[in-house]
Amino acid sequence: MARNRIGRRAMLGTALALPALNVRAQSDAVTLISHRYPALEWYADKMKSAVPGVSVDTRLMPSSDAAQLQRLQFSSASPGMDVLWLNSSLMAFYAKNGWLEPLDDLIAKFRDEYKLGDINPTSLRGMTYEGKVYGLPLTTNTLLYAYREDVFSERKLQPPTTWEQQVEIAKTLHSPRRAGTTLSLKWDMPPYELSSVLHTVGEGWFDRSWRPLFNS
């Protein structure tokens, strides 16, 4: 069993796509439960041949299904998962519950060999909980600012470079017939992009008495 665990941990240094390592892994094969999209499919395929003699079972599915299955595996102390895809919010939740194993020693050991020092420090902080690193960043979302050039030209406005400027533009363009600004609110946007906006240009979701601030 000890030999199997060492094999799993050694695999992190060879397959840099491993976002996190489960402390409860016990089976012979390494099992990946991951969100499915092209970049992750590519990394999952590379993991299969990363370490000679180590079998990798990749289970790729929609992100909501993957997160649900991960929570079920963790909460039941199941040995059926070794490697998983997650975002920074899930990472903090899993780490707080003691479900993940810190990777700091592996990062230090393989830093030079795999150029782990090239990882953006800000991205790495997203995989850090209470001073310990629990995953390696795989992808980073890039936010785009889209605007109506004709409307901006008409009002002699320039694309903003600060949130303060964006707030003023939104106020300037707001009218009964047109919203001054919009945000994408598909299913995964509210906890990330919208939350960032509310905490940047406002006071957050709730006031000190837990009265909602997001309904005005």
pLDDT at position 133 is: 95
pLDDT at position 25 is: 40
164: amino acid identity, one letter: E
Structure tokens that stand for 31 in this block: 């099992």
Q: Which residues contact 197 (CB under 8 A, 6 or more apart)?
A: 183
pLDDT at position 192 is: 66
Q: Which CATH architecture has domain 2-133?
A: 3-Layer(aba) Sandwich (3.40)
pLDDT at position 216 is: 62
pLDDT at position 191 is: 67
pLDDT at position 53 is: 87
Sign for the CA dihedral angle at 161, 163, 168, 173 comes to positive
Domain definitions of the chain by residue range: 2-133
Kindly list the averaged pLDDT for each block of 10 residues, start to end, along the chain of length 216.
Answer: 39 40 54 88 90 90 89 88 85 90 94 92 88 87 86 95 91 92 74 74 82 76
Q: Which residues contact 98 (CB under 8 A, 6 or more apart)?
A: 23
Tell me the C-alpha distance between 102 and 9, whole Å: 11
